[in-house]
Chain A
């Protein structure tokens, strides 16, 4: 039982390059989220998926796209990377309770855009 896995752990891109960050969970959760964390800021929600096949924008969606092809996997794509997208990206798998949710985070992907 791996929980939430993310690949790659670290990536360097040049401005304009594209890449996809992968996230997978084995907890059978319906909801999955993507966050970014920048120095001096909290985690900010990029996109989320409440269930397989559905996605919605979060607080900072510009410059990103997502795909939720199946229940396990939720990928984040940068079509044309910019230095402002240098950040640490966290994926979370979410257990929805009756009144609240519990988020289980992956180890993160550290992205540097030159």
Chain B
């Protein structure tokens, strides 16, 4: 059973517009969430995180929103740039347990 789901395998957005990547989870014990970005032939790199005690975390163009009641988090990228084209993974963990990763969403930002 997939505990962390990214239901959109791909997303295309025009440069300058907002990109919204979604992630759903089933385990109510998850209390920490991460987003990673991955370029082809490279390892994932950490992008932004959020703790379950918050509902929003911002870092420059990147904002992560957490809706605990819906077990849903989203990553907003504003404005989107061609260099943001990559695969984005969300990951979740419960205290003392290892991270569970979603299947990834491939974002393509069109110039």
Which residue of chain A is the closest to B104 with respect to CB atoms? A42
Chain B binding site: helix, strand, loop or mixed by DSSP? strand
Q: B43 contacts which chain A residues (CB < 8 A)?
A: 4, 90, 92, 105-108
Q: A58 contacts which chain B residues (CB < 8 A)?
A: 98
Chain A binding site: helix, strand, loop or mixed by DSSP? strand
Q: A44 contacts which chain B residues (CB < 8 A)?
A: 101
Known contacts A58-B98, A99-B32; decide if A42 and B44 are in contact (CB<8 Å): no
Which residue of chain A is the closest to B2 with respect to CB atoms? A42
A31 to chain B, nearest CB (A): 10
Cβ–Cβ contact B98 & A41, under 8 A: no
Cβ–Cβ contact B4 & A105, under 8 A: no
B49 to chain A, nearest CB (A): 7
Q: Please pick, from A40, A48, A106, the residue contacting B98 in the complex, using a CB distance under 8 A.
A: A48
Q: Within 8 Å of chain A (Cβ to Cβ): is B41? A: yes
Cβ–Cβ contact B32 & A42, under 8 A: no
Q: A48 contacts which chain B residues (CB < 8 A)?
A: 98
Report the interface size for chain B: residues with CB under 8 A from the other chain.
Answer: 22
B74 to chain A, nearest CB (A): 17
Q: Within 8 Å of chain B (Cβ to Cβ): is A62? A: no
Cβ–Cβ contact A100 & B51, under 8 A: yes
Q: Within 8 Å of chain B (Cβ to Cβ): is A45? A: yes
Q: Within 8 Å of chain A (Cβ to Cβ): is B89? A: yes
B40 to chain A, nearest CB (A): 10
Q: B102 contacts which chain A residues (CB < 8 A)?
A: 42
Q: A107 contacts which chain B residues (CB < 8 A)?
A: 41-43
In the bound complex, how far is the Cα of B38 from the Cα of A108, in angstroms?
11
Which residue of chain A is the closest to B46 with respect to CB atoms? A102
Residue pairs across A and B with Cβ atoms less than 8 A apart, 22 shown, are: A33-B98, A40-B103, A42-B100, A42-B101, A43-B89, A43-B91, A43-B101, A45-B99, A48-B98, A58-B98, A90-B44, A92-B43, A100-B32, A100-B49, A102-B46, A103-B44, A103-B46, A105-B43, A105-B45, A107-B41, A108-B41, A108-B43
The 4 A-B residue pairs with the shortest CB-CB distance, nearest first, are: A105-B43, A42-B101, A43-B101, A105-B44
